Amino acid sequence: MKKNLFLLAAVTAFAFYGCSNAEDYVQPAAATAQFVPSPKALEYDASLFPAPDKSQELNPRNLLANFNKLIIKANPERGLERKEIDVNDEQLQEIKTFTDDLVKAADTPLKKLELLNAWLKNTVRYEYADNSSYAVFKNRKAICQGYSNLLRTMLYTQNIPSVAVNGVYKGIGGHAWVYAYVNNAWYVADPTNNLKPWRISNTAAYSHLLPQMANIDIFEDDNFVYNYNESYLNIKEVKKGTEILVIPYSIKGFRIGSFNPSKPLPTGIRHIYIGSNIHSLGESFCGLKAYRSFDEAVFVDPQNADFGSEHGIVYRRDFQKKLTSLFYIPSQMRSVKLRAMEKVEKNTVYNHSVVEEIIILPGTKKLENYAIESCGALRRLYIPEDCEMDEQALYLCPEGVEIMVGDFTGIAKVKK
């Protein structure tokens, strides 16, 4: 009898990582699921993690110094890109005609900047309104973002490079202002509050302005475009779709602290390797979550203090460096194995069109309603024997999903 039971357990296991058709594998039965052995973890090559170097780390507690170090390394011509100006050609021409007349007495770019900054401070009323450049130009009212937008548009008409900066006004809250490049130097302009801009070197005058993000590409190489985002030097764009994507540790002597892409990753990327240097992958539905592509697994260096990975899935770490909340499931992962958690909450696995099986490990006590939602290819769900499952834990998923219950730690691949 024991021999038969062992054989039954062996043939009931099915493919965990294989990509063959379902009929190539034996389907396990719920009654024998508790005998299924644990598979090997999804393997990765630790040598691919980027090696730490002596690059300068940008400490989030020194926002102003960090950004100033980066902006002086940027090509000012990046501040003349038309795509960053939020008006159409007809509106731009109208603003240009007005601006040309306004600065006609100025004989240097710096004087033009000073005139435009003062005009905005004296003319535009601080009021919640449409903050687009043209609306502010016509209505003469805005909050800080509108002041910043219109100043940049007016500078653009004078061929003066500028950068929109968002961050914090110390002691007050969120704020927007401008860096402009005139007379071979960067100047800081805050037309919402100040009549005159400051030279970048005069940090004591504007130490209350703490940059957190800016709309200029700081560096670019053959593989990536880098900007300043969430207070870190960030990888904004991946330019090439190699099968294995390794996020670099540094660029031009500066530590990269964020991988927060602002456009979809190239096709062809299957595995992503993230080093100990990355502190942010974007928040909410921004960044990696929003612009995932064809990745099947993401591996995080075990030395990373903010994120970790198990079975190719990314989790956050808490202050004790323990893995806690799930952060990211790769978009092309067909077999999802979730680490034990007290409960699987709403939308833990959401809108994953290719996932075929989900394995919930022992230690998980409950699958709440809508825990797994809009997974159209899902065929099998494995849950522990003592795991409670709400009636709508599977929502907008196929009706024929097999639910396998048992005290197992995983599924091993066994061909017929």
pLDDT digits (tens, 9 = 90+) for 252-310: 999 999 999 988 888 889 999 999 999 999 865 456 766 666 788 999 999 999 999 99
pLDDT of residue 84: 86
Distances (CA, A) of 192 to 154, 306, 309, 331, 382: 15, 36, 44, 43, 57
Q: Which of 233, 224, 194 is nearest to 71 (CA)?
A: 233
Q: What is the pLDDT of residues 84-112, one digit of tens each?
A: 899 999 999 999 999 999 999 999 999 99
44 vs 300 pLDDT, higher one: 300
Distances (CA, A) of 195 to 116, 181, 186: 9, 17, 17
pLDDT of residue 263: 87
- The region of weakest confidence among 141-145, 207-211, 411-415 is 411-415
- Read off the amino acid at residue 315: Y
pLDDT of residue 407: 63
- pLDDT above 70 for 138: yes
59 vs 3 pLDDT, higher one: 59
DSSP code for 221? -
The β-bridge relationship of strands 173-182 and 258-259 is unpaired
pLDDT tier, 240 (very low <50, low <70, confident <90, very high otherwise)? confident
Domain 60-218: CATH architecture, name and number where available: Roll (3.10)
Contacts of 173 by beta carbon, 8 Å cutoff, 6+ apart: none
407 vs 149 pLDDT, higher one: 149
In DSSP terms, 367 is beta-bridged to 344, 389
- For 196-208, what is the mean pLDDT? 97
Q: What is the pLDDT of residues 373-406, one digit of tens each?
A: 999 999 999 988 889 999 999 999 998 899 888 7
pLDDT tier, 64 (very low <50, low <70, confident <90, very high otherwise)? very high
Query: What is this structure's pTM?
Result: 0.82
Angle between helices 144-157 and 89-102 (to 10 degrees): 80
pLDDT of residue 338: 92
**Dihedral angle computed from the Cα positions of residues 46, 49, 52 and 56, in that order, rounded to the nearest 10 degrees:** -160
CA–CA gap between residue 297 and residue 308 (Å, rounded): 13
CA–CA gap between residue 267 and residue 248 (Å, rounded): 19
Tokens coding 168: 């914090």
Q: How many CB atoms lie within 10 A of CB 4?
A: 8
Q: How many CB atoms lie within 10 A of CB 289?
A: 17
pLDDT of residue 47: 95
Q: Are 110 and 162 in contact (CB under 8 A)?
A: no
- pLDDT above 60 for 207: yes
CA dihedral sign of residues 223, 228, 229, 230: positive
CA dihedral sign of residues 408, 410, 414, 416: positive
CA–CA gap between residue 237 and residue 259 (Å, rounded): 9
- For 333-344, what is the mean pLDDT? 91
pLDDT of residue 28: 38
pLDDT of residue 169: 97
The domain limits of the chain are 60-218, 221-330, 334-415
Tokens coding 287: 């960044």
- pLDDT above 80 for 22: no
R_g of the chain, CA atoms, integer Å: 27
168 vs 361 pLDDT, higher one: 168
CA–CA gap between residue 339 and residue 315 (Å, rounded): 9
| Number of alpha carbons in the 13 Å side-chain half-sphere of residue 35 | 17
Tokens coding 337: 């194995």
pLDDT of residue 292: 66
- pLDDT above 80 for 415: no
Helix count (H) and strand count (E) of the chain? 6, 29
pLDDT tier, 20 (very low <50, low <70, confident <90, very high otherwise)? very low
Phi, psi angle pair for 343, to nearest 5°: -150, 150
pLDDT of residue 17: 32
Percentage of the chain modeled with pLDDT above 90: 71
pLDDT tier, 242 (very low <50, low <70, confident <90, very high otherwise)? confident
- pLDDT above 50 for 13: no
- pLDDT above 60 for 195: yes
**pLDDT, averaged across the chain:** 86
Indicate the helix (H) or strand (E) that contains 349: strand 349-350
pLDDT of residue 42: 65
> Residue 267, class by beta-carbon neighbours within 10 Å (0-12 exposed, 13-18 middle, 19+ buried)?
exposed
Q: Are 262 and 291 in contact (CB under 8 A)?
A: yes
142 vs 41 pLDDT, higher one: 142
Size of the chain, expressed as the number of residues it contains: 416
Tokens coding 329: 């499931």
DSSP code for 117? H
**Dihedral angle computed from the Cα positions of residues 26, 27, 31 and 34, in that order, rounded to the nearest 10 degrees:** 80
If DSSP codes are grouped into helix, strand and coil, which group holds residue 344?
strand
CA–CA gap between residue 135 and residue 130 (Å, rounded): 6
End-to-end C-alpha distance for the chain, whole angstroms: 22
pLDDT of residue 10: 35
- For 311-327, what is the mean pLDDT? 91
pLDDT of residue 198: 98
